[in-house]
Amino acid sequence: MSTTIRAEAAARRTFAVISHPDAGKSTITEALALHAHVIGEAGAVHGKGGRKGVVSDWMAMEKQRGISITSAALQFSYDDCVVNLLDTPGHADFSEDTYRVLTAVDCAVMLIDAAKGLEPQTLKLFEVCRHRRIPVITFINKWDRPARAALELLDEIEERIGLRCTPLTWPVGPGGRFQGVIDRRGDEDGTQNAMAHFERTPGGTREAIETRLDASQARERFGEDYERAVEEVELLREIGATHDQKLFEEAVTTPVLFGAAVANFGVRQLLDVLIKHAPAATDRADIDGTPREVDAPFSGFVFKIQANMNKAHRDQVAFVRVCSGRFERGMVVTHAESGRPFATKYAQSMFGASRDTLDEAFPGDVIGLVNATALGIGDTLYVDKKVTYPPLPSFAPEHFATIRTDDTSKAKRFRRGIQQLDAEGVVQVLYSERRGDASPVLAAVGTMQFEVATHRLSEEFGVPTTLDHLPYELARRTDAESAEKMKRAPGAETFVRARDGVVLAAFLNKWRMQTVKTDYPGIMLEPLLAQAE
């Protein structure tokens, strides 16, 4: 059994796609699924031309705005491997959701807009990868449009984030005149400077037509564009910009590929690189730093909770990353936080909003446990030898608002909806003596989280709500004794977070916080995880 579990773990590739908004993240997610032949036709983010929206953007608000608001999991098989692809929100307001997803992956694909280069949210998400030592594969997207010079983009990556670039493909033709790529992986089999030429299919909804050309064929057909690409590839060889698997897994280097996700150019190459080079599931450290071996008895942790993903399935799903052992549907596991047994009768594999019954899973897989209302984000499940994985920290909120419903007949639904949003981590829900339980306070990293909360309360629970924004801009962790001392402090207010009972102190600004610290010496004020970290 141990050999089987290790073999199954070695066949898993679990990764997230990270980027700044509008870099093409949901498009590349669906393009990868298309090339793995698990969908027959790619949809446009906005459903143009009568096509369906991308499979990972299932929420009504996502379809309306054409952006990812919540993360989604897609599991599929490709080339004897099982791929667990996690699509993350790109917008900074949903950083907390993305951070939680990054705790569950073994690798990340960093998507960069070829015209814009590294953008603020990409940098922030990369810092999370750096902090967690997650290896990063870089895909420079939108090469079918005007773009910056390829070498300039590599320089920016190396200078701004310190990763050494080792391109595995190189574009033939400048941005906007994308002919194909020189596949540097061919250096290993004697087909140096071979080229993959791409032709877009009508509408771009199916795989691009790909023709492989040797050096002489490519030179004859694409002349100057090909010659310039070869010169740049020779320069890369001279400076040693060649893939080293060990340095990549140590998060020192990043393999780089070029393509155009919307036209399905270069996507197969990315998928092949993920299968060949992305790390497989391996031993994972528990809360004490002790590794839990992949072939130890089953264990996993909850990194996401989502309700009402499908109108036909109005239920709650806990997303669990399997860390060790073999999961079997129906097995009874232990909930580490409560010490109670937990039955796993309703286990499913996820593909966006679509779900299928799942009978078994192995390290690296993401499973959905349906109606697991006893589970919270960050909770650990295990069999046999006890293990607890590190808790998932919360971001420091920067926006606060009270929320209420004026329809008293829907008070019960309102409370249920608020509890659901809190359980999912859509927003942080706070309570205080000053305002009472009837007036919860929503705390968020960005104001769009408030929009999601009110939209879902209206659409899913039928409860109209009113928000009143509060003037606070930052929060710190405190304790009950300090909260009592600050009860009458001007420009400050203390709350209890519903999810975990943590006491938070909110301040008008950093200067007001400094004044309160001076006026009340000895109070406890500790930073939470900051958005920029």
Residue positions forming the annotated binding site for GTP: 87-91
DSSP code per residue over 259-294: -BGGGTBSHHHHHHHHHHHSPPP--EE-TTS-EE-T
HSE, side-chain direction, 13 A CA sphere, residue 343: 4
Determine how β-strand 136-141 pairs with β-strand 209-213: unpaired
Integer-rounded Cα radius of gyration of the chain: 24
Euclidean distance between CA atoms 181 and 337, whole angstroms: 51
What type of residue is 220? E
What type of residue is 75? Q
Angle at 413 between CA 411 and CA 416, to 5 degrees: 110
Euclidean distance between CA atoms 73 and 90, whole angstroms: 15
Tokens at residue 161, please? 């984030």
HSE, side-chain direction, 13 A CA sphere, residue 22: 6
Calculate the dihedral angle through the C-alpha atoms of 25, 31, 33, 38, rounding to the nearest 10 degrees: 150
The answer to whether 59 and 70 have CB atoms below 8 angstroms apart is yes
Q: Which residue, chain included where needed, has tokens 């909260």? A: 483
Euclidean distance between CA atoms 233 and 364, whole angstroms: 35
What type of residue is 342? F
Beta bridge partners of 401: 442, 469
What type of residue is 276? K
Locate the DSSP E strands across 218-373: 253-258, 284-285, 291-292, 299-307, 316-324, 327-328, 332-335, 340-343, 347-351, 354-357, 360-361, 366-370
Q: Which of helix, strand or coil describes residue 512? A: helix
Residue 189 DSSP label: G
In 3D space, the residue among 468, 469, 494 whose CA is nearest the CA of residue 481 turns out to be: 494
Enumerate the known binding-site residues. Answer: 87-91
Euclidean distance between CA atoms 512 and 268, whole angstroms: 54
Q: Which of helix, strand or coil describes residue 207? A: coil
- Residue 245: Cβ within 10 Å count: 13
Euclidean distance between CA atoms 371 and 512, whole angstroms: 44
Euclidean distance between CA atoms 519 and 488, whole angstroms: 11
Euclidean distance between CA atoms 284 and 256, whole angstroms: 27
The answer to whether 402 and 467 have CB atoms below 8 angstroms apart is yes
- Residue 200: Cβ within 10 Å count: 16
